Every structure is written in C-alpha cells, then in structure tokens.
Amino acid sequence: MHNAQMNARLSHINLFPVKSCAPLTPDQAHVEWRGLRGDRRWMIVDVEGRFLTARKHPRLVLIRAQAEGANLRLNAPQMPELDLQPATGDAELKVTVWRDEVSGRAARESADAWISRYLGFPARLVYMDEQTERAVDAKYARPGDTVSFADGFPVLLIAQASLDLLNSKLASALPMLRFRPNLVVSGTDAHAEDGWRSIRIGKIQFDVVKPCIRCVLTTVDPASGQFDAAGEPLRTLLGYRRTANGVAFGQNLIPRGTGTIALGDAVEVIA
C-alpha cells in the first residue's frame, strides 16, 4: 500500500434525506446495501413523476430535511416548517430517475402543497420504502445490488486532497458540498481514490466501481441556491480532469457489507 494512504481516515459524512436538498452531517452512519441509511430515500418529482433536481431548480439545495425512518421534517427560506409521513394504502406512484422507473410512496397532500408553493409550480414528494428495489447498472454491479434515489450508485466518496488541489487552482476556494459526496477521506494524495478498486472503512468493505462524472450541479452554490456566475468549478476542472465521458471527480462505491461507520475510522485500501 502506498504510504500516502496509510493514514487515511474518514473525515466527513453527508446524508441527503431528500435528493438535491441540503445534507445532514452526522458523526456516524449505518451502511445498508442501497447506501447510507436515510440517504436520498425521498425525492421531489413533477406531476408526471419525473425526478426534479437542483440542476434545473437550484433553490432545492436550500431545503433542509431531517428524517427519522419514513418521517420527515422540512425547512426552507420563507416557508413554514413541515412535519410529515408518507401516505399509506394505495398511494404508490411510478416515478422516473434518469432511465429507471421506480416505485415511490406518495407523501401527503400537505407535502405536495408545500413543495409546490416553494418551487412555484406543481410538484410532489415521494418516499422509497423498504420493499422498493432499484437495481444498480449491471455494467458496474453484481446481481442484486440496489440503490436509493441517488443518481446511480449507493455511495459517493471524495478525498479531501482532491478538493484541496482544485481549490489551489481557483480564485476563491469552494466547499466540498459543491460535489455532494457521502464520504470524505483525509490523509491521501489528491485523487488517490481514482486508483482504488476495493477499500475498507472501519469494518465495512466497499467496491470502488466508477468515477463520478460531474455536471452543472457542481456550479450551484449551496449557501445561496444560485448558479456560480463564473461557471466554477467545471470551468477549471475541464482543464485537468476531463475524460472521454466527461469531467471526473470522486468515485462511486457499492457496499459489500452492512454496519456502522464513524468519523475517524481508518480507510484501508485493499486493492
């Protein structure tokens, strides 16, 4: 193992209860097969069930959600706080995430009214229950691998040194939240994660399966809910992180075990 990774540690955890909204930053998280418990189990969709994200609606990043199982509390600027649970009975919806059609559990009408008022057009809130299974792309996964409402993979990891290198090239430093990772690792070289194939965090093993190809969402300021006027960091990343598939920054992981991980856990590179 390279010496630069001998002291690698888990330095930050982000949970995103609602896709494209603000994170929680716990000291520990429970790893499930489909990702971190409570991560992206809720999603906002249009009236036809198509997913909505901050790529087109940047103010979504200002919505703060706290989740406890299937219960959710929402806060947003100029909005009343909302506590809700998913509806029960015949409230199953077919929703679309990219090319995947997935079963979602409808939230109550009060939630739909709240999110529609905030966005300024009709929208709905949906929940992924334990019975719903959404498969990971078979090109990168094993049979039976599942994912939440995340874009495509259960967990996203970035090395802190990768952001530090980027910030050394920018006029103004950007926060890691521009890239919305679940896990941040300190004590490595910049982009060390690109060379990993299998890692262990604490006692949990993960396959490192695919670089994360970045989009306009990285240009949304998580503090203001507005696009970066200079088009950063994509503009700078194009100069040194361009691949045949697009700008790569961070790595997608698939868990190979379940259990708790915590800040300070050692990150061991297996392969």
Q: How far is CA 119 from the centre of its chain?
A: 21
Coil, strand, or helix at residue 211?
strand
The yes-or-no verdict on residue 3 having pLDDT over 70 is: no
pTM here is: 0.95
Q: CA-based angle 90:91:92, to the nearest 5? A: 100
CA distances from 134 to 72, 82, 118 (A): 22, 28, 29
Q: What is the pLDDT of residues 114-124, one digit of tens each?
A: 999 999 999 99
Task: State the average pLDDT for the chain.
Answer: 95
Q: What is the pLDDT of residues 49-69, one digit of tens each?
A: 999 999 999 999 999 999 887
Which structural domains are found in the chain, ordered by start?
Answer: 3-269 (2.40.33.20)
Which residues, in sequence order, are CB contacts of 45 under 8 Å at separation 6+?
51, 52, 93, 95, 96, 104, 123, 124, 125, 126
Coil, strand, or helix at residue 226?
strand
Which residues, in sequence order, are CB contacts of 159 under 8 Å at separation 6+?
184, 185, 186, 188, 189, 190, 191, 192, 193
Asked if 201 and 267 touch (Cβ cutoff 8 Å), the reply is: yes
Q: Residue 112 corresponds to which amino acid?
A: D
What confidence tier does 225 reach under pLDDT thresholds 50, 70, 90? Answer: very high
- Write out the two tokens for 77: 């600027």
Q: What is the pLDDT of residues 89-100, one digit of tens each?
A: 658 899 999 999
Q: Please choose, from the candidates 238, 254, 270, the residue with its C-alpha nearest in 3D space to the C-alpha of residue 1.
A: 270
Q: Output the pLDDT for position 4.
A: 43
CA distances from 49 to 97, 102, 123 (A): 9, 10, 9
Q: CA-based angle 93:143:10, to the nearest 5? A: 85
